[in-house]
Amino acid sequence: MRVGFIGLGSQGGPMARRIVEGGFETTLWARRAASLEPYADTAAKTAGSPAELAAASDLVCLCVVGDDDVREVLYGDNGVLAGLASGSVIAIHSTVHPDTCAEIADKAAAQGVSVIDAPVSGGGPAVEEGKLLVMIGGDEEVAERCRPVFATYADPIVHLGPLGSGQVTKILNNLLFTANLGSALSTLDLGESLGIPRVRLAEVLNGGSATSKALGSIAIFGGTVEGLAPIAGALLQKDVRHAASIAASASAPEGSVFTAADTALESMEHPR
């Protein structure tokens, strides 16, 4: 399978490198030429446009930031869809609204192209270890065709159901992570008001039964989200909005998880 990869950021870049090192013929494209320079020592080829990349690929993996970014690289005369042949596959690693996946799948189906959503969790370190988590929604046969590529950087690779299932799962994951941030911040605030230094409390909680990935992230930055906000603030805001939209469309109760998530997002907007 020939692979095209777009989105060479802190997570996508290591993923692309693992695909190349896995022996797959790989083509890369980036808006900035500087983003391609780190791959000059690999066997990866580069393309002049998303359409050119797509013409050289059987599977195109997208790891850009959000919904509009995905649309930008897919649509238009120079977009991925303009270059893909019938029978090809688009894998959306970006975290986007399930409705965006459905919209793209409808357009792709008109030219015989399949779409799966395959958001990821774990970050660059997990990629380096080949332990990234991939959550797949879409046709299971198509997902299985892509599995050898995903296996170069991911374990586990979980198929969750029809198109959009991967996105719903990733969005709920990020909602709970954000809520955990909010709960941890509230606990640290309470401890501080009771005379326990938040740095010390964060250290203790992170080493005890109350620990969580969210608390660990806060502990790294001295018991606050000041350092985390520039890295993840906007992304978590996007994903919590998507979670609220999904819950509303399903007439599902939002519950206290959204209250805790809002606490974290507010703290990121006004870090102490």
User: How many CA atoms lie less than 13 Å away from 191 in the CB half-sphere?
Assistant: 17
Give mean pLDDT, residues 131-149: 98
45 is catalytic: no
Instruction: Report the chain's mean pLDDT, rounded to a whole number.
Output: 94
Cis link prior to 98 (omega < 30° from 0)?
A: no
254 pLDDT more than 80: no
pLDDT at 238: 92
| Backbone φ and ψ of 78, nearest 5° | -105, 10
The pLDDT value given to residue 227: 78
* Weakest mean pLDDT among 129-143, 169-183, 224-238: 224-238
CA distance 47 to 170: 30
Q: What is the pLDDT of residues 22-61, one digit of tens each?
A: 999 999 999 999 999 999 999 999 999 999 999 999 999 9
Tokens of 218: 């806060």
pLDDT digits (tens, 9 = 90+) for 172-190: 999 999 999 999 999 999 9
Alpha helices in 112-255 (DSSP H): 123-128, 140-150, 165-193, 198-206, 213-220, 229-249
3-class SS of residue 225: coil
Q: What is the mean pLDDT of residues 184-210?
A: 94
Using the predicted structure, report yes or no on whether residue 240 has a pLDDT greater than 90: yes
Banded model confidence at residue 268, pLDDT cuts 50, 70, 90: confident
Q: Which two tokens stand for residue 36?
A: 């391609």
Catalytic residue chosen out of the listed positions 45, 131, 170, 213: 170
Q: Is pLDDT at 1 greater than 70 in this prediction?
A: yes
133 beta partners: 121
Angle at 114 between CA 109 and CA 115, to 5 degrees: 105
Q: How confident is the model at residue 255 (pLDDT cuts 50, 70, 90)?
A: confident
Rounded to whole angstroms, what are the CA distances from 233 to 176, 236, 245, 268? 14, 5, 19, 6
Complete domains list, the chain, with CATH: 3-162 (3.40.50.720), 168-269 (1.10.1040)
Task: Return the structure tokens found at 109.
Answer: 């189906």
Band the pLDDT of 272: cuts 50, 70, 90.
low
* Of residues 242, 259, 61, the one with CA closest to residue 146: 61
pLDDT band at 271 (very low <50, low <70, confident <90, very high): low
Name the pTM for this structure.
0.92
R_g over Cα of the chain:
20
Residue 20 or 233, more confident: 20
Give the tokens for residue 164.
Answer: 């959009």
Among residues 120, 18, 25, 115, the alpha carbon closest in space to that of 63 is found at: 120
pLDDT of residue 117: 98
Q: Does residue 151 register a pLDDT over 90? A: yes
- Which of 21-25, 220-224, 244-248 is predicted most confidently? 21-25
Say whether 3 sits in a helix, a strand or coil: strand
State mean pLDDT over 73-89.
98
